[in-house]
Structure 1
Amino acid sequence: MTDRHDSGADRRKVLGGIALGAVAAASSRPAFAQAQTPPAAGMQARPASAEPAATKPAGRTGETLTRLGLGTYLTFDLLPGANRDRLREVTRIHVEAGARVVDTSPLYGTGEASVGQFLSAMGATDQMFVANKIWSTGDFLADESHAMRSFEQSQLRLWRQRFDLIQVHSLVNVDVVVPMLQAWKKEGRTRFVGVTHHDNDYHEVLASWVARGAVDFVQVNYSIANRGAEQRVLRAALDRGVGVFINMPLDKGRLHKLVGDRPLPDFAREFGAENWAQFFLKFAMSHPAVTTVLCGTSDPAHAAENVGALRGPLPDEAMRSRMVRHMEGIPGFDTIGRAPWYPDKQALYQGVIRRSQAGMRQRLS
């Protein structure tokens, strides 16, 4: 079983917005090409005959990214001083398998610090496409100071002078932050600008930012059980040449809870799925608009399952329909969205986020 990321609190929809054009900025970093990336220091290189990790061009950006990336919400948040060996191993497995995308945020507790330390120790920092986020308002309208402090803190934690992508986290203060990020892109703090959300209620807002050409990437929730993003967001991304990151491809652990010990259908071998994680991840990867599917876990065994989705064929449209029909035959599939997140796993994630949430509940009791 595996887990995924992003903030669980609902946010008010952002209304209106200013019309923005994309700010063109030439990048000094060469286009991403996983096949030419050497293994991280201390890691055994894959044999030359091994199948390379699957990649895909990210819309009009000129980047080519691996189709699987590492997500870090909750799974990488530990209390200071806690043993991080399992998270270090999860990171190593992804890097060694050829995954070259990691997504994090200042909101993810100690996640940024762990990602930065692990990648630096592995000699892999410069090999990774690092996607970070800004969740910021300010002391007054259009105040940049809070966002700049967050950015500078992220630089220290992740040990990066600039980021490949900075995203407006959950559309917070999006009308102010997108223009600010476009300025940061022009000034060299980030190479690309994006917007994110994890809730279907915000798909229209995401799609509107994609359609106006103001962003290079959009991050949206999408899975075999929740295909709502197909209606507007993914279609708009294809039309505008915007890169797409997917969150919640395993529906916060609920898909694995649903299938339990059921065996994979025999047809899964036709697209190389060896376990349910690869079945679900390859479904999300195979949508024509999707660039990279983000999946997080704190379990090295689950990480090893996940990275297997980087190899082998992806399902075509007919196979995708067959996959959906199979899942629809499993009782509870149509109501999975009403089930609690991370079933049977809440006790695993006891970092600074959960500590603060528990403290607030106690104060209010």
Structure 2
Amino acid sequence: MEYTTFGRTGLRVSKLGLGGAPLGGVFGPADEHEIEKMIHEAIDGGINFIDTAPSYGRGESERRLGQALAGGRRNDIILASKAVGPGESFDYDNTIRSVESSLARLQTDWIDLLQIHDAEQVPYETVVNETLPALEKLRKDGKIRYIGISTRILPLLKRFVELDRFDSIQFYTRYMLIDHTAKDELLPLTQEKGIGVINGSVLGLGLLADTPAAFLRPPIVEEAARRMAQLQFLRKTEPHGLVEPGMRFSLTQPAIHVTLTGATTCEKLRANMTYCDGRGLEPDELSRVYTLFQGQNLFPSEKEVGK
């Protein structure tokens, strides 16, 4: 397992983190007993960063994670969660309630990193004037340590980074083999500002694993297939031959501190952990990937994703 310093927070984080959406059954059924085993195996294997959210399985991801950590493992990890979620109010009071509920489900007195979830859902002013001040109050009270923000909308993330009130950002499907647009302007800015960066859905909501999420619309799946056909030079194994290069592509990007893996079984977790050994794509392969689809978003809008 490789480790790095999470931006200006000074936290020492594993470059591979465990993503919480699958823990709550977001992408399909997940056996609760297997989930608990997998969380323990992840920690034993050196993963010290776990990311979840109240909206993952309507609190089920947080509940399962809290249960798995209750036996004395809480101090072994850097715990990240999020505030509010789809369809909820991002106002001050509801943000406080959201975090308090997360603390209860997670069976902990503090959350290391609390992120504003999918910030594109509400006006920028609401986040700045309501949600963020609530998190700053919770930080003052010792219930959270650091504050982050998540959205896959790159211009919005850039605007929040420039605000200089966040310790981290999280995006998804913006630095992967078939859409690496985050590298052009956002990642250089986060490096300049000392912002921690978390990369989610590095396999493109299942696209690079040849198992696209059911909610993805046909035009997106078709365009992804066209792009993947141009990456045959990276396929070393079959089936699902783009999983390993896809993981290594993110894990060895210096500006990305944590790459999340969305595993639901110990077997899948073990496979993904083997990729966190510091070995990335060959220089000529990386150059070729960067040349392909330069500046081309795969998911231009929420409508086209299908959510």
**Normalised by the shorter chain, which TM-score bucket?**
0.7 to 0.9
Relative to structure 1, the CA distance from residue 209 to residue 311 in structure 2 (aligned partners, 3 Å threshold; closer, same or farther) is: same
Identify the match of residue 135 of structure 1 among 62, 66, 84: 84
Counterpart of 1:294 in structure 2 is 260
Residues 231-286 of structure 1: per-residue CA shift (max 9 Å, x gap) = 232121111000000011010110021679x89656x9xxxxxx743321121122
How far did residue 298 of structure 1 move?
1.5
CA contact (8 A) 1:131 1:167 kept: yes
Amino acid at match of 1:186: K
Q: Which residue of 2 aligns with 1:225?
A: 178
**Cα offset, 1:100, TM superposition:** 0.5
Quick one: which of 144, 156, 161 aligns to 2:104? 156
- Helix, strand or coil: the match of 2:24? coil
Per-residue Cα deviation, 1:330-354 (whole angstroms, up to 9, x for no partner): xxxx99759xxxxxxxxxxxxxxxx
Q: How far has the Cα of 1:167 moved from its partner?
A: 0.4
5 Å-filtered alignment, 1:53-92, equals 53-77=1-25, 83-92=31-40
Match of 1:190 in 2: 144
1:213 maps to what in 2?
A: 164
User: Match for 1:73: what amino acid?
Assistant: A
- One-letter amino acid of the structure 1 residue matched with residue 67 of structure 2: Q
Aligned mates of 2:114, 2:283 — CA distance in 1: 32
What is the DSSP-based 3-state SS (H/G/I as helix, E as strand, rest coil) of the residue aligned with 1:288? coil
- Is 1:76–1:87's contact at 8 Å kept on the other side of the alignment? no
Distance 2:88 2:36 in 1: 38
Change (3 A) 1:83 1:283: closer
* Aligned partner letter, 1:150: S
CA RMSD in angstroms, aligned pairs only = 3.3
Distance 1:197 1:131, change over 3 A: same
Q: In structure 2, the residue corresponding to 1:309 is in which secondary structure? A: coil
Q: TM-score, normalised on structure 1?
A: 0.65
- Partner deviation per Cα, 1:107-138 (whole Å, 9 max, x = no partner): 112110011111223x3211111111001699
* Greater Rg by CA: 1
Please report how far the alpha carbon of residue 63 of structure 1 lies from its aligned counterpart in structure 2 after TM superposition. 1.3
Q: CA deviation at 1:287?
A: 1.9
**Counterpart of 1:210 in structure 2: which amino acid?**
V
| Structure 1 spans left out of the alignment, 5+ residues | 1-52, 269-274, 329-333, 339-356, 358-365
2:179 and 2:297 in contact (8 A); partners too: no
Q: 1:88, CA displacement in angstroms?
A: 1.9
Change (3 A) 1:75 1:115: closer
- Residue 303 of structure 1 deviates from its aligned partner by 1.2
**Pairing 1:162-181 to 2, within 5 Å after superposition:** 162-171=110-119, 172=122, 173-175=126-128, 176-181=130-135
Matched, 1:243 2:218: no
CA contact (8 A) 1:137 1:146 kept: no
- CA 1:290–1:114 in structure 2 vs 1: closer, same or farther (change >3 Å)? same
TM-score, L = length of structure 2: 0.76
- Displacement of 1:139 in angstroms is 11
Q: In 2, distance between residues paired with 1:212 and 1:148?
A: 22
Separation in 2 of the partners of 1:250 and 1:206? 21
